[in-house]
Amino acid sequence: MGRRKIPRVAPPMPLELPSATMRSMVELAMERIVRHVETLSSQPMHAVAGGKKLVRVLREPMPELGTPYERLVRLLFGRVIPASMNSASPGYLAYVPGGGLFHAAVADLIADATNRYVGMWQAAPGLVQLEQNVIDWFAAMLGLPKTAGGLLTSGGSIATLTALVTARHEKLPPEFQRGVLYVSDQVHHAITKSALFAGFLRERIRVVPSDETHRLRLDLLEAAIAADRAAGLLPFCVVGSAGTVNTGAVDDLGALAALATREGLWFHVDAAYGGFFALTERGRAALAGIERADSVVVDPHKGLFLPYGTGCLLVRERHRLERAHAVRAPYLPAKQVDDDTVDFCDLGPELSRDNRGLRVWLPLKMHGAATFRAALDEKLDLAAYAYGALSRLPGVEVGDPPTLSLFTWRLRPEGLEGEALDVKNRRLLSAINQRQRVLLTGTTLATGFHVRLCVLSFRTHREHIERALEDIRAEVQAHLG
Ligand SMILES: *Cc1c(COP(=O)(O)O)cnc(C)c1O
Q: Is 265 exposed, middle or buried (0-12, 13-18, 19+ CB in 10 A)?
A: buried
Q: How far is CA 73 from the centre of its chain?
A: 28
Same domain, 359 and 415: no
32 in a structural domain:
no
What are 454-470's pLDDT values in tens digits? 999 999 999 999 999 99
The strand order across the sheet containing 179-184 reads 149-153, 311-315, 295-298, 266-271, 234-241, 179-184, 205-208
16 in a structural domain:
no
Same domain, 359 and 383: no
Evaluate: CB of 272 within 6 angstroms of ligand 1: yes
Please list, in sequence order, all residues whose beta carbon lies within 8 angstroms of the beta carbon of residue 58, skipping any fewer than 6 positions away.
Answer: 80
For the chain, how long is the longest CA-to-CA vector?
A: 76
Same domain, 117 and 236: yes
What are 148-162's pLDDT values in tens digits? 999 999 999 999 999
pLDDT value at residue 340: 84
Evaluate: CB of 299 within 6 angstroms of ligand 1: yes
The whole-number average pLDDT for the span 190-211 is 97
The whole-number average pLDDT for the span 241-268 is 98
Same domain, 407 and 344: no
As a 3-state breakdown, the chain gives helix, strand, coil percent values, each rounded to 5, of: 45, 15, 40
CA of 302 to the centre of ligand 1 (A): 9
Same domain, 113 and 213: yes
The whole-number average pLDDT for the span 162-172 is 98
Q: Could you tell which of 162, 189, 253, 273 is best to mutate to test the pocket of ligand 1, judged by most ligand atoms within 8 Å of the CB? A: 273
101 in a structural domain:
no
CATH number of the domain residue 436 falls in: 3.90.1150.170
What are 1-12's pLDDT values in tens digits? 456 788 999 999
What are 323-365's pLDDT values in tens digits? 999 888 888 887 777 878 999 999 999 999 999 999 999 999 9
Same domain, 143 and 182: yes
What are 99-150's pLDDT values in tens digits? 999 999 999 999 999 999 999 999 999 999 999 999 999 999 999 999 999 9
Percent of the residues in the chain that have a pLDDT greater than 90, as a whole number: 94
pLDDT value at residue 3: 66
pLDDT value at residue 54: 95
What are 286-334's pLDDT values in tens digits? 999 999 999 999 999 999 999 999 999 999 999 999 999 988 888 888 7
232 in a structural domain:
yes
Q: How many angstroms separate the CA atoms of 280 and 265, rounded?
A: 29
Same domain, 295 and 405: no
What are 9-27's pLDDT values in tens digits? 999 999 999 999 999 999 9
Distances in Å between the Cα of 198 and the Cα atoms of 112, 191, 224, 236, 340 are 31, 10, 22, 13, 30
**Cβ proximity of 270 and 181 under 8 Å:** no
Evaluate: CB of 131 within 6 angstroms of ligand 1: no
Range of the domain at 441: 370-480
Same domain, 303 and 221: yes
Distances in Å between the Cα of 282 and the Cα atoms of 224, 226, 339, 403 are 32, 35, 34, 9
pLDDT value at residue 111: 98
Same domain, 274 and 407: no
CATH number of the domain residue 347 falls in: 3.40.640.10
CA of 10 to the centre of ligand 1 (A): 42
- Nearest atom in ligand 1 to the alpha carbon of residue 158 is 9
The whole-number average pLDDT for the span 70-98 is 96
Percent of the residues in the chain that have a pLDDT greater than 70, as a whole number: 99
Examine the pLDDT at 48 and tell me if it is beyond 90.
no
Evaluate: CB of 270 within 6 angstroms of ligand 1: yes
Q: What 8-state DSSP symbol labels residue 79?
A: I
292 in a structural domain:
yes
Same domain, 323 and 226: yes
Boundary of a domain, candidates 318, 339, 368: 368
What are 368-392's pLDDT values in tens digits? 999 999 999 999 999 999 999 999 9
pLDDT value at residue 326: 87
455 in a structural domain:
yes
The DSSP bridge partners found for residue 408 are 452
Same domain, 382 and 363: no
Boundary of a domain, candidates 352, 368, 384: 368
Evaluate: CB of 273 within 6 angstroms of ligand 1: yes
pLDDT value at residue 338: 80
The DSSP bridge partners found for residue 205 are 181
CA of 156 to the centre of ligand 1 (A): 5
Q: How many angstroms separate the CA atoms of 395 and 388, rounded?
A: 14
Q: What 8-state DSSP symbol labels residue 445?
A: E
Q: Identify the CA nearest to 346 among candidates 170, 111, 156, 150.
A: 150
Got the DSSP string for 28-71?
A: HHHHHHHHHHHTGGGS-SB--TTHHHHHHHH--PPPSS---HHH
Same domain, 323 and 398: no
Average pLDDT taken over every residue of the chain: 96
350 in a structural domain:
yes
382 in a structural domain:
yes
Boundary of a domain, candidates 368, 385, 411: 368
